[in-house]
């Protein structure tokens, strides 16, 4: 009985963790390349969820195509916020200003969505939500299977992109040394834009994947973003592998805290882990450290 529960909670945790990874990866990518935090990232998630909802309900092509639509909507938002906020502020070379600006954008987006979509939660039902696989006391809904599969595929695709394509390598180069990347013939501005688009596309897609899980209101993304920040730090800012690992860990913490402690304590446990991480390994789970040159 207990092993079943532990196993079941592991599955629950991994499902949730893979969703967090999708959201946190975007934050990490942006941080890696720009050393900036985008607070509006959460609202891209929400927007992606709504895009998927309305596409499903107005166009009626089913859930899977709606994920693609959410991805595109997220990408477009990423492009927009990069062009309107980060590009003009990059010249000011200040780490605070873009952060505050994105808080402003976040307030604006949330309330615009509130005006358009209203506060009453949308029931996001997909054709997979109600089908449950049961095996030896373990249950998984098809929706969750899709979440795991799509997340794993996305992460794999992203990995292939970063590892094996020229653009992906260029992107990593830009995050390590923007100036030298320029010497290679790489246009850093283009790649920063690309990073934003990819990160936001992930957020949008994350939204579509989260939509059946989330309580879908204009404030839905906010509930995820604080944890996403924790994941990004636990994984090490700008570190993709660390973020994936940390995302899964936080997902597991959430399910095991629920099982053995109390769901009210989830945030305390997650952020205690965060502070512990910062105390013992300030650069994250998988460390990349450089000496300061004086």
Partner 1 sequence: MTRTLRTLCTSVAAIGLLTIGAVAQAQDKTIKIGALFPMSGPGSYFGTQDKQGVELALEQINQTGVNGYKFAVHYEDSACSPLPATQAAKRLIEQFKPDVIIGEECSDATLAVMPIVEQAKVPLLNAGSSSIKITQPGNPWTFRIMPNEVMQGINLAENAYRRMNARRAVLLFENTNAGIGNAQVFKENFTRLGGKVLAEIGFGRDVNDFTAIATRVAGLGEVDVIPTYTLEGQGLKITQALAQAGVTKGGGGNAIQIGTIWLPFGFEQKAGKAALGYIRIVQFDPTDARPVARNFVSAFKAKYNTEPTHLNAHAYDQIMLIADVVKRGGKDPETIREGLAATKNYSGVTGSVEFDKNNQNVKMDTIHYMETKPDMSWVSLKWN
Partner 2 sequence: MSETVFAQQWLGKATSSRARFLGYLTAVAVIVTLPLVFNDTYWRTNLTVCAINVLLAIGLDFILGYAGQLNLGHSAFYGLGAYVSTLLIVKLAVPFWLAFVAGVAFAGLAGTFLSLFAVRLRGHYLAIASLGFAVIVHQILLNWISLTQGPLGIYGIAPPPALVVDGTVIADFRNLTAFFYLVAGFALLSFLLLSQLVRSPVGETLTAIREDEVSAASLGINAAAWKVFAFGVGSAIAGAAGCFYASFVGTLVPDAFFITEAFNILAMVIVGGMGTLIGPVFGAVLLTILPEVLRGLGDLRLVVYGAALTFVVLFIPGGMAQAANAVGERLWRRRSA
Partner 3 sequence: MSALLEIAGLELAYGQVAVCRNISLRLDRGEIVALIGANGAGKSTTLRAIAGLLSPRRGTIAFGGRDVTALPSYERSKLGIALVPEGRRVFPFLTVRENLELGGFNSRKDPSTLKRRMERVFAMFPRLSERSSQNAGTLSGGEQQMLALGRAMMSEPQLLCLDEPSLGLAPIIVHDIFQTIRAINAAGTSILLVEQNARHAFETAQRGYVLQTGSVIASGSCATLKRDPRVQEAYLGRTATRR
Burial 190-214 (b: 16+ CB within 10 A, else e): ebbbbbbbbbbbbbbbbbbbbbbbb
As to burial, measured by CB atoms within 10 angstroms (0-12 exposed, 13-18 middle, 19+ buried), residue 151 is: buried
Residues 6+ apart with CB under 8 A from 203: 22, 23, 26, 41, 44, 45, 48, 74, 78
Using CB under 8 A, pick the residue from 62, 104, 263, 282 that binds partner 1.
263
* 92 counts as binding partner 2 under rule CB under 8 A: yes
As to burial, measured by CB atoms within 10 angstroms (0-12 exposed, 13-18 middle, 19+ buried), residue 53 is: buried
Using CB under 8 A, pick the residue from 70, 181, 203, 245 that binds partner 3.
181
Contact 243, 235 (CB under 8 A): yes
CB of 155 to partner 1, least distance (A): 19
- Choose one: 5-13, 78-86, 178-186, 197-205; the region binding partner 3 (CB under 8 A): 178-186
How far apart (Å, rounded) are the C-alpha atoms in residues 247 and 265? 18
- Choose one: 46-54, 107-115, 183-191, 251-259; the region binding partner 2 (CB under 8 A): 107-115
CB of 180 to partner 3, least distance (A): 4
Nearer to partner 1, 139 or 190 (CB): 139
Which of the listed partners (partner 3, partner 2, partner 1, none) does 221 bind, with a CB threshold of 5 to 8 Å by partner kind? Answer: none
Helix or strand holding residue 267 (H, E): helix 266-280
Which of the listed partners (partner 1, partner 3, partner 2, none) does 288 bind, with a CB threshold of 5 to 8 Å by partner kind? Answer: partner 3
- Map residues 144-173 to x or -, x wherever contact with partner 3 holds by CB under 8 A: ----------------------x--xx-xx
Joined tokens for residue 85: 């906020």
Residue numbers 205-234 binding partner 1 by CB under 8 A: 210, 213-217, 219-220, 222-224, 226
- Choose one: 13-21, 23-31, 74-82, 279-287; the region binding partner 1 (CB under 8 A): 13-21
Contact 67, 49 (CB under 8 A): no
Burial 74-89 (b: 16+ CB within 10 A, else e): bbbbbbebbeebbeeb
CB of 123 to partner 2, least distance (A): 23
How far apart (Å, rounded) are the C-alpha atoms in residues 286 and 26? 18
**What CA–CA distances, in Å, run from 258 to 127, 218, 252, 267?**
28, 26, 10, 11
* 83 counts as binding partner 2 under rule CB under 8 A: no
The secondary structure of 28-51 as a DSSP string is HHHHHHH----TTHHHHHHHHHHH
Interface contacts to partner 1, rule CB under 8 A: 1-2, 5, 8-9, 12-13, 15-16, 111, 114, 118-121, 123, 125, 129-130, 132, 134, 139, 141, 144, 210, 213-217, 219-220, 222-224, 226, 254-255, 258-259, 262-264, 266-267
Interface contacts to partner 3, rule CB under 8 A: 166, 169-170, 172-173, 176-177, 179-188, 288, 290
Interface contacts to partner 2, rule CB under 8 A: 31, 35, 37, 39, 85, 88-89, 92-101, 103-112, 114-115, 226, 229-230, 232-233, 237, 262, 264-265, 267-268, 271-272, 274-275, 278-279, 282, 292, 294
């Amino acid at each position: 009985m207990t092993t079943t529960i532990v196993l079941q909670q592991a599955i629950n945790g991994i499902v949730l963790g893979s969703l967090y990874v999708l959201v946190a990866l975007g934050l990490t990518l942006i941080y890696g390349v720009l050393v900036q935090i985008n607070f509006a990232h959460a609202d891209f998630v929400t927007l992606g969820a709504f895009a998927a909802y309305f596409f499903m309900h107005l166009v009626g092509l089913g859930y899977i195509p709606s994920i693609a639509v959410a991805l595109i909507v997220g990408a477009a938002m990423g492009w927009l916020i990069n062009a309107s906020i980060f590009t003009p502020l990059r010249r000011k070379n200040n780490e605070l200003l873009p952060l505050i600006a994105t808080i402003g954008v976040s307030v604006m987006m949330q309330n615009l969505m509130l005006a358009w979509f209203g506060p009453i939660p949308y029931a996001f039902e997909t054709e997979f939500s109600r089908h449950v696989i049961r095996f030896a006391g373990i249950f998984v809904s098809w929706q969750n299977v899709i979440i795991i599969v799509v997340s794993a595929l996305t992460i794999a695709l992203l990995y292939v992109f970063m590892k094996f394509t020229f653009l992906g390598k260029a992107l990593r180069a830009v995050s390590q040394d923007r100036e030298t990347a320029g010497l290679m013939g790489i246009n850093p501005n283009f790649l920063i834009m690309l990073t934003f688009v990819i990160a936001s596309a992930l957020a949008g897609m994350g939204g579509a994947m989260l939509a059946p899980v989330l309580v879908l209101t204009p404030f839905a993304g906010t509930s995820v973003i604080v944890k996403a920040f924790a994941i990004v730090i636990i994984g090490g800012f700008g570190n993709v592998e660390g973020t994936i690992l940390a995302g899964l860990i936080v997902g597991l913490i959430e399910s095991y805290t629920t099982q053995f402690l109390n769901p009210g304590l989830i945030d305390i446990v997650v952020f205690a882990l965060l502070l512990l991480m910062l105390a013992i390994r300030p650069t994250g789970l998988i460390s990349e450290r450089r000496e300061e040159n004086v």
